Structure 1
Amino acid sequence: MAQPDDMFGDDDYPAYTMGRAAEITGASPDFLRRIGEAKLITPLRSAGGHRRYSRYQLRLAVRAKEMVEQGTALEAACRIIILEDQLEEALRQNEMRERRQKSDSA
């Protein structure tokens, strides 16, 4: 279990209830459930079975909400965001690999 000081800076810590997440994102609880069903986010479940969301998941929810409001189908918006995140991670890993190779050859 993370220590309290660690949780404040942890984007993945599931700090927000469904109601608070809906309030922060401006999305309905139903929308949050639907993006969970579309596999964009998987909220942690509390001991009582309640959904808990992280800041990272809230950012994804806001991105999905904006895309849906602009006319993109929910499932398509979720898939696009997933692919964008995968691409960003791959680019980050390539950059790290290139830096290592440069430092190894220096």
Structure 2
Amino acid sequence: MTADDSFGRLDDDDYPAYTMGRAAEMLNTTQGFLRAIGEARLITPLRSAGGHRRYSRYQLRIAARARELVDQGTPIDAACRIVILEDQLEEAQRINAEYRRGAGSSGPPAA
């Protein structure tokens, strides 16, 4: 992999670019919070060659939403479940919109 390939991956929402310490700092939370949402299986950080947790921008957005709910008084397990359901709903709506676009462009079936 060249240096250009590495820099290009930083634009990838799923690229695990952030260490646990940096992720916690960016979210203004603790590393313990990140471990807790990992234990609740909200996010599963990738591991570096040395075994350190690494987070993607997508995972940080998910963690930020969970933190928002916890800050509002929602228990962490419930916050994680809410975020999972919100994510599933968003994906289902995206698939439904694609289906509708595909069904609309093919026109009515011939009689």
> Aligning the two structures, in what range does the TM-score lie when normalised by the shorter sequence?
over 0.9
Post-superposition offset of 1:8: 2.5
- 1:40 matched residue in structure 2: 42
TM-score, length basis structure 2: 0.90
Identity of paired residues, percent? 65
Q: What is the total number of aligned residue pairs between the two structures?
A: 106
The answer to whether the aligner puts 1:54 opposite 2:60 as a matched pair is no
TM-score, length basis structure 1: 0.94
Letter in 2 for 1:38: A
User: SS at the partner of 1:10?
Assistant: coil
Larger Rg: 2
- 2:78 matched residue in structure 1: 76
Post-superposition Cα deviations, 1:22-68, rounded to whole Å, max 9, x if no partner, equal 10001100000000000100000111100000001111111111111
Letter in 1 for 2:73: G
The answer to whether the aligner puts 1:17 opposite 2:19 as a matched pair is yes
Post-superposition offset of 1:6: 3.3
Deviates more, 1:27-36 or 1:57-66: 57-66
User: SS at the partner of 2:54?
Assistant: strand
User: SS at the partner of 2:81?
Assistant: helix
Gaps in structure 1 of 5+ consecutive residues: none
- 1:101 matched residue in structure 2: 103
Post-superposition Cα deviations, 1:7-29, rounded to whole Å, max 9, x if no partner, equal 13211100000000010001100
Q: Residues of 1 paired with 2:7 and 2:48: CA distance?
A: 20
The answer to whether the aligner puts 1:63 opposite 2:65 as a matched pair is yes
